[in-house]
Structure 1
Amino acid sequence: MTGTSEHRRHDLSVDQQLALRTAAVRLRESFDGVFGAETIERFLYSSYDQFAAHSTIPNFLPLLAERFARQRLHALARVEGHHQDGKPTVLFLCVHNAGRSQMALGFFQHLAGDAAVAWSGGSEPGFEINPSAIEAMAERGIDITGEFPKPWTEEIIRAADVVVTMGCGDACPVYPGKRYLDWTLDDPAGKDVADVRPVRDEIERRVRALLAELDVPAA
């Protein structure tokens, strides 16, 4: 497979190599007629690299790589005009992609449903979602345990109609002609659930306001 030799430094196990080959097959089936095998494998392995350097759960790396590669390929399809559904696309960015941006993503997806698209990312992705953020969102009936901290990439930025930044400052990417919103919110890192609730509630208020601006009905 293209790129396998380049990733020997990660000491891929036989199971990981098999999992990545299987992931590549699934991605090729999903993007058949849109992207060739070389592009798909390049995105898959570069996504793997994004997590391999600091992951503490190597057995899950192929799955994370596949999920992130799928998101990136969907974004690239939008950028290149292969997929035009007219849905507003929003990207939520914070530092670690472990608290604020994940809660915003959770509210946006819950309220917008299939009427809009949302992604999230971090300038310095953490290792796991903030447990207090998970608990605070669960109190609202929103499960964000299936998400994971991830970086932003160029195609994801380019595909977004609106980029919402939350505390990443100069590390947040700036592309000319892109609409940016900067939300000043307390960082929930290291806080207990009681301290995260006000941040959660403010995020919900802002997400609802953003959906109204985008003419997306909130559930």
Structure 2
Amino acid sequence: MSKPSVLFVCVHNAGRSQMAAGWLRHLAGDAVEVRSAGSAPADTINPAAVAAMREVGIDITDQRPKLLDPGTVEASDVVVTMGCGDACPYFPGKRYEDWKLDDPAGKGLDAVRPIRDDIRTRVEKLLAELAG
């Protein structure tokens, strides 16, 4: 059996989805294929998201916001959306989850930390379900 593939999608692919992808890469190693994308990608990753992840030893500075492509959705086993609304294409047979999370855009580090920690909890739960 091939390893599962998870796609994290938010609007700008600069905060929530990048933190989630960082957590999953960190916690799963190479056991899960990790992707992220945005319906309207930003130019760069949110500096507060980078700083919040750095605090827990995860470096996401090498990641770049990417445009959501229907082929990426189709190639993923699990699609986790975070506020991208109707911009996310739907393919039958995929597992979809919609995580209601505050958007870290424009927020300082103190406001981003609880979002980071909430994402970790959700990623740990997802990883346990994938392993089960």
TM-score of the two chains, using structure 1 as the length reference: 0.59
Asked if 1:149 is matched to 2:84, the reply is: no
Give the C-alpha shift of residue 172 in structure 1: 1.3
What's 1:195 paired with?
111
Compare the two structures and name the one with the higher helix fraction: 1
Larger Rg computed on CA atoms: 1
In structure 2, what is the Cα distance between the partners aligned to 1:95 and 1:105?
15
Aligned ranges 1:72-111 → 2 under 5 Å:
86-111=2-27
Amino acid of the structure 1 residue aligned with 2:61: T
User: For this pair of structures, how many residues does the alignment match?
Assistant: 132
Amino acid of the structure 2 residue aligned with 1:130: N
Asked if 1:179 is matched to 2:103, the reply is: no
What's 1:5 paired with?
none
Give the secondary-structure state (helix, strand or coil) at the position aligned to 1:203: helix
What's 1:123 paired with?
39
What's 1:168 paired with?
84
Aligned ranges 1:46-65 → 2 under 5 Å:
none
In structure 1, what is the Cα distance between the partners aligned to 2:5 and 2:51?
26
What's 1:52 paired with?
none
Amino acid of the structure 1 residue aligned with 2:9: L
**C-alpha deviations, 1:86-107, integer Å up to 9, x for none?**
1010000000000000000000
In the TM superposition, structure 1's runs of 4+ consecutive aligned residues that sit over 4 Å from their partners are none
**C-alpha deviations, 1:137-183, integer Å up to 9, x for none?**
00000000000011111221111000000000111111112110000
Compare the two structures and name the one with the higher strand fraction: 2
Asked if 1:207 is matched to 2:106, the reply is: no
1:114 to 23, 30, 42: 30
In structure 1, what is the Cα distance between the partners aligned to 2:23 and 2:94?
22
Identity of aligned residues (%): 62
In structure 1, what is the Cα distance between the partners aligned to 2:14 and 2:26?
18
The runs of 5 or more residues in structure 2 that have no matched partner are: none
Give the C-alpha shift of residue 121 in structure 1: 0.1
**CA RMSD after TM alignment:** 1.0
What's 1:35 paired with?
none
The runs of 5 or more residues in structure 1 that have no matched partner are: 1-84
In structure 2, what is the Cα distance between the partners aligned to 1:116 and 1:177?
19
Give the secondary-structure state (helix, strand or coil) at the position aligned to 2:29: helix
**C-alpha deviations, 1:97-148, integer Å up to 9, x for none?**
0000000000000100011111000000001000000000000000000000
